Amino acid sequence: MSKDHKTLIRPEGLPGSASWPVVTPIMPSVVYASETPDALDAQYEGRVEGYTYAREGHPNAEVLARRIDALEGEDGGLVLGSGMAAVTAVMLGILKAGDHVVGGDQLYGRSLRLMTQDLPRMGITTTLADPCDAAAIAAAIRPETRMILVEVVSNPTLRVADMEGIARVAREKGVLLVVDNTFTTPRAYRPFDHGADIVIHSVTKLLAGHSDVTLGYAVARDAGLQKAIYDFAVTTGMTPSPFDCWLAERGLATFDLRFDRAEQNAARLADHLGTLAGVKRVLYPMRGDHPDAARARAVLGNRGCNMLSFELHGGREAANAFAAAAEGIAFAPTLGDVGTTLSHPASSSHRALTPEARAAIGISEGFFRVSVGLEDSDALADVFSRAVAAAETA
Ligand SMILES: *Cc1c(COP(=O)(O)O)cnc(C)c1O
């Protein structure tokens, strides 16, 4: 007679092992079981550590958060379901009706939308000002201003904010300084070393680095503010997926190496584009011809970035010919991938602006932004040379 192998549906525990995995396991469990009600009390009262329900936190999010904490030099950060979840949780978790926020006038598109459409609907007023000019930021501050939100390097014209000046304004006026550090990353800029109160990331971009997860991160220096961000994120369900967190942790293992390589490639590609007759201008903050070259050195030291922009002679036809000829370079509106990607602000991120408004910030139909990846730099130079030549004959 065969033995009866019937078991209950949820066997308890994993097979025993004196050794352990070197790779973080993926833990998709939504709920965590406890021994007894007394044991659960101990956990809720903070006498022992433990998880209860994944929306409130889970091991893969926590492992990832501690790694990004270490990069930014702070403790207790939170991983959320997207970069925009992080921006939203910071604003709505902390602000209340009647408050006022000052934002950089070239923030990420959805951050601008949050500032100009959603916050005002909730009774939070906002003003946008040029972050390259600390006096303009100071002039926008009101008695009810609670927060300043800036990015260090703007998209897509790669303007460098006056971070020291803005930090001084925030300190003098007693306003929270929130830095979206997505473009610069802690490899090039550590906001907490320069007076920031809160740091935000779209982990989707360089930190995870492989265009296969959507995640965000937010950390506040003040524990009370961090708790407000956490509670808002848990209440509104901004929970990241364990698998996404696991992929991002894997990506983060090579972040430093990827950043350094991409930065080198970007500097070389910027210089190469500058030699091509079909290119009208190149924007790379580390080049002497960038309007903020001096400030880039002051803010970023000897670090660069993986982003550059350039303008072709010619309009939409040249742009179409260029994108079609740039074989192997994904024409896709993201950044920070291992592979080089190309975006065309006039038809994507900045399409809602009038041509005049785009022209005012220097974005024409021939304008492209490049997120430089880890390819062989000679191969990159070749493909860009061919694509620029194709644009010239269009
Ligand atoms: C992409 C991006 C965001 C939004 O991040 P998601 O992960 O796409 O939600 C916010 N800020 C900056 C600077 C970004 O580049």
The DSSP annotation for 128-161 comes to EE-TT-HHHHHHH--TTEEEEEEESB-TTT-PBP
pLDDT of residue 13: 76
Q: What are phi and psi of 173, to 5 degrees?
A: -95, -5
**Binding site membership of 108 for ligand 1 (Cβ less than 6 Å):** yes
pLDDT at 365 > cutoff 60: yes
Q: What is the spatial distance between Cα 128 and Cα 87, in angstroms, rounded to a whole number?
A: 16
Where do runs of H (alpha helix) occur along 45-133?
59-72, 83-94, 109-113, 119-121
Whether 151 is in the pocket of ligand 1, judged by its Cβ within 6 Å, is yes
**What number does the ligand 1 atom closest to the CA of 155 have?**
13
DSSP label at 361?
Answer: T
* Rounded mean pLDDT, 98-127: 97
Closest to 310 (Cα-Cα) out of 261, 275, 339, 347: 275
For residue 214, the ligand 1 atom closest to its alpha carbon is: 7
pLDDT tens string 278-322: 999 999 999 999 999 999 999 999 999 999 999 999 999 999 999
Give the confidence band of 32 by pLDDT, cuts at 50, 70, 90.
very high
Q: What's the confidence (pLDDT) of residue 112?
A: 95
3-class DSSP state of 170? helix
CA of 61 to the centre of ligand 1 (A): 18
C-alpha of residue 12 to centroid of ligand 1, in Å: 40
Average pLDDT over residues 125-149: 98
CB-based contact 81:238 (threshold 8 Å) = yes
Is the CB of residue 371 less than 8 Å from the CB of residue 307?
yes
Mean pLDDT of the 43-58 span: 95
pLDDT at 38 over 70: yes
Contact 335, 371 (CB under 8 A): yes
Q: Whose CA is nearest to atom 4 of ligand 1?
A: 83
> Tokens 């999010």 correspond to what residue?
61
pLDDT for 12: 74
For ligand 1, whether the C-beta of 214 sits within 6 Å is: yes
Centroid of ligand 1 to alpha carbon of 326 (angstroms):
25
Distance 82 CA to ligand 1 centre (A): 8
Q: How far apart are CA 40 and CA 24, in angstroms?
A: 25
Cα 90 to chain centroid, rounded: 14
Instruction: Return the structure tokens found at 345.
Output: 């602000």
Are 55 and 81 a contacting pair, CB within 8 Å? no
CATH class of 37-252: alpha beta
- What residues contact 287, with CB distance under 8 A and at least 6 apart? 270, 271, 274, 293
Q: How confident is the model at residue 2 (pLDDT cuts 50, 70, 90)?
A: low
Nearest CA to ligand 1 atom 6: 83
DSSP string across 290-352: STTHHHHHHHHTT---SEEEEEESS-HHHHHHHHHH-TTSEE-S----SS-EEE-GGGTTTTT
Compute the average pLDDT of residues 247-268: 98
Q: Is the CB of 183 within 6 Å of ligand 1?
A: yes
Q: Report how far ligand 1's centroid is from the alpha carbon of 45 (Å).
A: 36
Mutation to probe ligand 1, out of 105, 159, 182, 189 (largest number of atoms < 8 A from CB): 182
Ordered alpha helix ranges (H), 73-105: 83-94
Distance CA 228, CA 272 (A): 48
Show which residues are catalytic.
55, 108, 180, 205
- Give the ligand 1 atom nearest the CA of 216: 7
Residue 176 phi/psi, 5-degree rounding, is -70, 135
> Is a pLDDT exceeding 90 seen at residue 27?
yes
In angstroms, what is the span from residue 277 Cα to ligand 1's centroid?
33
Residue 202, ligand 1, Cβ within 6 A: yes
User: Do 37-252 and 255-393 show the same overall fold?
Assistant: no
Please give the pLDDT value at position 53.
Answer: 95
Q: Ligand 1: which residue has its CA nearest to atom 12? A: 108
The ranges assigned to domains in the chain are 37-252, 255-393
Closest ligand 1 atom to the C-alpha of 334? 1
Cβ of residue 182 lying under 6 Å from some atom of ligand 1: yes
pLDDT of residue 1: 53
Residue 370 pairs in a beta bridge with 308, 342
Exposure letters 309-339 (e unless 16+ CB within 10 A, then b): bbbbebeeebbbbbbebbeebbeebebbbbe
- Domain 255-393 matching CATH 1.20.1250.20: the answer reads no
| Mean confidence (pLDDT) of the chain | 96
Angle between helices 377-392 and 316-325 (to 10 degrees): 140
Task: Give residue 58's pLDDT.
Answer: 98
Give mean pLDDT, residues 257-284. 98
Q: Whose CA is closest to atom 1 on ligand 1? A: 202
Contacts of 358 (CB under 8 A, 6+ apart): 345, 346, 350, 364
Banded model confidence at residue 9, pLDDT cuts 50, 70, 90: confident
CA atoms of 147 and 100, how far apart (whole Å): 7
> For residue 378, how far is its CA from the centre of ligand 1 (angstroms)?
30
Please tell me the residue having the least CA distance from ligand 1 atom 5: 83
What distance separates the 2 farthest-apart alpha carbons in the chain? 87
